[in-house]
Copies of this chain bind each other. A is one copy, B any other.
């Protein structure tokens, strides 16, 4: 079992030659068109294929066809459990459709994101799922107008107005649910803690929701944006809690990362009437510190939804206008807010 020419793998031509038939016949065999094929040649071909360990070359198939059965995903930051779950979800759908997944990490840099998308297209993917790093909307909007553009689905972070199919959390409603729960727990003041998030849709959405619903619910609230490391955060939090006096206050982290930063910044242990909650993965939040009440975003489900939307357009010929799917976040209650 092997190849003949220059150490290459056996090709259809090799099989044809070995079986003493034409390439056409092999092709027909592979596509199950036995209708008018003699049992003899069929058996012969089967034998030769096994003998040579022949497998059709998908690249060559794609070159002729209009589809490659490959899709690309550009991920903002792969080193993030959230991202890996998005990809796991996407991957599940890919497996179901026998599609290959090309993954690129943008490392939070818009420049890389653009380069990655171009590279994926050069590799002839049939479509793209983009978890944008943010601050790349202008380019993404221009990209939308390109001729012969491949289908794109935005994942978790979106571009407005809605020019692409998108999947995200119900950020607004989730924030409201959390604030209502906190109010029920007797909290009087909420501090939303986040890294700078201009240009990242989820952050602004959540920030605005916090501001709005704190008002609606009669909660005191503010947004704390930090960009100066753990020590900076520590002193800001300390100041802030000072001002709060003995109002029951909750720190609400924008994501896992900020949640960990809060835990580190407050490790001296200034809890008393101070709660903590976060957008975060339930499995990790549950065992972080005392157990952190969280909004789990169900990233795997989000990934699957995004892939489904993409495949519908690519392979099922869907022509629907683009739409936004909101995956509801799950409120998971642990000890950090039961004070």
Listed in ascending order, the chain A residues whose CB lies under 8 Å from chain B are: 1-3, 6-9, 53, 55-60, 62-63, 66, 68, 70, 78-81, 83-85, 87-88, 91-92, 95, 98, 100-105, 112, 118-124, 146-148, 260, 263-264, 283-284, 286-289, 300
Residues of B with C-beta under 8 A to A60: 63
Given A102-B101, A148-B2, A284-B284, residue A78 in contact with residue B84 (CB < 8 A): yes
- Closest chain B CB from A88 CB (angstroms): 4
- Closest chain B CB from A224 CB (angstroms): 19
A58 to B118 alpha-carbon distance, docked (Å): 12
Please give me the residue from chain B that is nearest to A124 by CB atom.
B59
- Closest chain B CB from A132 CB (angstroms): 17
Check B103–A120 contact: CB distance below 8 A. no
Q: Which of B63, B92, B260, B283 contacts A63 (CB 8 A)?
A: B63
- Closest chain B CB from A12 CB (angstroms): 13
Return 25 A-B CB contacts under 8 Å, by A number. Answer: A2-B147, A2-B148, A3-B148, A6-B66, A9-B148, A55-B118, A55-B121, A58-B122, A58-B124, A59-B59, A59-B123, A70-B123, A79-B85, A81-B81, A81-B84, A84-B87, A87-B105, A88-B105, A91-B105, A95-B112, A98-B119, A100-B123, A101-B103, A260-B283, A287-B289
**Which interface residue of A55, A59, A63 has the most chain B CB atoms within 10 A?**
A59
Check A119–B100 contact: CB distance below 8 A. yes
- Closest chain B CB from A317 CB (angstroms): 14
Residues of B with C-beta under 8 A to A146: 1, 53
Check A57–B102 contact: CB distance below 8 A. no
